Structure 1
Amino acid sequence: MTTKISRRDFLFEVSAAAALVSGAAGTALLPTIAQAQTPTVRVTHFGGPYQILDQAVGKPFEAAGLGRVEYIASLTPATMGQLQASKSNPPFDVVMVSRPAGVRAGRAGLVEKIDISKIPNLAEVEPGALSPEGFGIPFVLDTIEIMYNTKMVSSPITSWLDLWRPELKGKIALPSTSVVFAPDFVALIARSLGGDEKDPKAVDEAFKKIMELKSHVRTFTTNPEQASALMERGEIAASPQFGVRISSVIKNNPDVARSFPTEGVAARPYDLAIPAETPAKELAYEYINFVIGKQAQENLMRDLWATTVNRNVVVPDDLKDKVVTDFSKLIFWDDIYMASVERDWRTRWERNVQSG
């Protein structure tokens, strides 16, 4: 049975609690009691540069009187595992996931189909960024680009196929199957060879080409942070990497540059999804609506150098060479198709590329 407490009774209980402890200790108790009464939404993010979400979104959300945000670092595979293990009692209220994973989670009943009537700021979102299946709402667009050390290459990298340069032998990192963008890399190489990711023959050619790259690979990274650390230490010359993480490396390393290959860069919409059984559903919708609003989007662009989804955001001149502002330069995969082939491609990657 739920017990309702009136505002007068609540204030009485706070005063009584404070009276139990005198001096400074009593004063320190007040914020703790008040904080316990503030509604809290539990939100995952990918760690690393995304730690800034607390300042860019969490603190403004709380300042607006909407509630507190408790952030938990969790990459997509770990988040999916926890949702599957705790479907009836999810440990999160909003999850940040890559789109193919969000599609699978929605089809499995782990996250709910978004009720767009509860997200008024959705009217400001770039239509091309939206998921066709509606299991999540994008809050930033990451990209798959190439980061490289300008001191370790003879000329700027401008093509995905530049990774096959003889000078890079033993000096690149590729993702292992635990990194979500391994399938993106396959699709990008298929396109770079003049094919299409939906053509099985083109995919076969892409895998054959990638297998030729194995002699160039210093290591297969198990997470994006590892690739960034190797680049920062000068242990690799080049690597496919998320654009947001490249930005984080560049900020502290003047020798590191980013390449937007001429064949195009893959857009990675990061969706916010709501676990189907969360008890904080209304607050979860409040959070998603807030994070796609103009204020939060401007904060994310400034702090993450991420491509925003709110089309009312104006990119300042000093950031125009740091974020992708032209959506025509982005490759948006058919998410339903990519979700359908992801498991097979990961198996092939592990067997034919990563092993041996």
Structure 2
Amino acid sequence: MNITRRNFTRLIAGAGVGLAAPAHFVKRAVAEPKKGDELVVGVWGGAQEKIVKEYVEKPLVEKYGCKVSYVLGGTGERRARAYAERGRPSFDVLYLNIYESRQAVKDGVTQEPTPNVERFEALYPSARRGGYGVAFNPCTIVYDKRKASKPITSWKDMWNPEWKGRIAWPDGLGAEGISALMMTARAWGGTEKDFDLVVEKVKELKPFAAIQSSQAQLFEMFDQDICDLSVEFGSFTRTYAESRNPNIEIASPEEGQALAMNVACITEGTRNQKLAEEWVNLHLSEPCMLAYSRELYYSPTVNDLTIPEDLKPKLVLGEEAVSKLVDFDWDLINASRPKWQARYDREIAG
């Protein structure tokens, strides 16, 4: 979905002159939480809802005597609602993906992250943009290792003839689709600006076995031998491989895996600033981070956890590994979405 971009500049008054200031210098009037205050959180349901209720809501309510209510489901509906309520939000904390979160800050819907959240200093640098990163969930090539003549070690390996007609290309310009397109650019010497190159290289892979629009659909395709390779979130694929299909391999290409991330965002105009900051701080705590890693294979966005030995091979851990996750120019991507989507529909999916 394309969102109109709008510059959002914060001003502080000084000697009668309005001066533009970085977000972290702006002093917000923050009321202390009181018993009965209600925090509204927009988050995904299922396992993520269960985890935040146990490790974030419970200690927050115990400390402040507040209430927490939820708006659950996918980001589309709650993001649209947050934009409609810009400046007068019903949400206090809004969970978005990486590109939505950065755009929301630019559009004045959510706040830049600040050290007012105590755990801010433990965040990796890439998790300090667009809000507070709470989970790394990289996208990469996933494939049936029985069908590979050798392990996949590069994004270029998708162009090996053995995969012809066996690739399920990700649908559209969501996280998986953008990851596949932008890593194609990286692998073949381009950048986000080289979309012509990307389209021509992806067209070389056709015909596709299918266009996959969800993890569930892809995993059914693997089960039914419809396809042998795709681009997907590593965490979900690991759960699938361990529970249903041990033949599926998660590649670590030499060009890197694509950075994808869940982000906790505090809304502009929240009436519960302190509670929202405390909520985010608890989400970044070790118990919550480890629950995400254990139950979902989401990699932690903070650098000071004690990770159990059995989890270490299954996560992205440490400064060096995190720095290899490939971030993109989301400003350019978001501005290009209508044009790129039209070409995708016509030349890749068509």
The match for 2:149 is 154
**Larger-gyration structure (1/2):** 1
List aligned pairs for 1:1-356, cutoff 5 A.
Answer: 39-45=38-44, 51-64=46-59, 65-66=62-63, 70-87=69-86, 90=89, 92-114=91-113, 116-131=114-129, 135-177=130-172, 179-198=174-193, 200=194, 203-215=195-207, 217-252=208-243, 253-325=245-317, 326-355=321-350
Distance 1:182 1:117, change over 3 A: same
Taking the aligned partners of 2:342 and 2:132, their CA distance within structure 1 comes to 29
* Structure 1 Cα separation of the partners of residues 56 and 341 of structure 2: 38
Contact map agreement 2:40 2:71 (CA 8 A) in 1: no
Q: 1:169 to 1:288 in 2, by over 3 A?
A: same
- Asked if structure 2 preserves the Cα contact closer than 8 Å seen for 1:179 and 1:224, the reply is no
- Deviation, structure 1 residue 139: 0.6
State the one-letter code of the partner of 1:95. L
Distance 1:96 1:62, change over 3 A: closer
Q: Please give the per-residue CA displacement for 1:88-122, whole angstroms capped at 9, x wherever unaligned.
A: 765643222222222222222322344x2431111
Q: Give the counterpart letter for 2:186 in structure 1.
A: R
Identity %: 25
SS of the equivalent of 1:318 reads coil
Alpha-carbon separation, structure 1, partners of 2:41 and 2:322? 31
SS of structure 1 residue aligned to 2:343: helix
Q: Is the 8 A contact 2:57 2:279 kept in 1?
A: no
In structure 2, how many angstroms separate the alpha carbons of the residues matched to 1:284 and 1:233? Answer: 45
Task: Give the Å deviation of 1:270.
Answer: 2.0
- 1:136 Cα deviation (Å)? 1.2
Distance 1:137 1:261, change over 3 A: same
Query: How far has the Cα of 1:313 moved from its partner?
Result: 1.1
SS at match of 2:137: strand
Q: How many Å apart are 1:305 and its aligned residue? A: 1.6
| SS in structure 2 of the partner of residue 267 of structure 1 | coil
Partner amino acid for 1:193? W
Q: CA deviation at 1:73?
A: 4.3
- Aligned partners of 2:143 and 2:229 also within 8 Å: yes
Deviation at 1:354, TM superposition (A): 1.4
Distance 2:140 2:212 in 1: 16
State the one-letter code of the partner of 1:144.
C
Please state how far the C-alpha of 1:145 moved relative to its aligned partner. Answer: 0.8
Partners of 1:136 and 1:316 in 2: how far apart? 27
Q: Equivalents in 2 of 1:224, 1:70: separation in Å?
A: 28
RMSD, aligned CA:
2.7
1:168 Cα deviation from its structure 2 partner: 2.6
Moved more, 313-322 or 83-92: 83-92
Unaligned runs of 5+ in 1: 1-36
Q: Is the 8 A contact 2:75 2:95 kept in 1?
A: yes
Q: 1:234 to 1:249 in 2, by over 3 A?
A: farther
| CA positional deviation for 1:42 | 2.4
Q: Using a 3 Å threshold, how does the CA distance of structure 1 residues 40 and 77 change in structure 2: closer, same or farther?
A: closer
Contact map agreement 1:103 1:339 (CA 8 A) in 2: no
Please, which runs of 5 or more residues in structure 2 have no aligned partner? Answer: 1-35
Q: Which residue identity lines up with residue 344 of structure 1 in the other structure? A: K
**TM-score with structure 1 length normalisation?**
0.76
Question: Does the C-alpha gap of structure 1 residues 289 and 347 become closer, same or farther in structure 2, counting only changes over 3 Å?
Answer: farther
In structure 2, relative to structure 1, the CA distance for the partners of 1:60 and 1:103 (3 Å cut) is closer
Distance 2:298 2:305 in 1: 12
Moved more, 63-72 or 288-297: 63-72
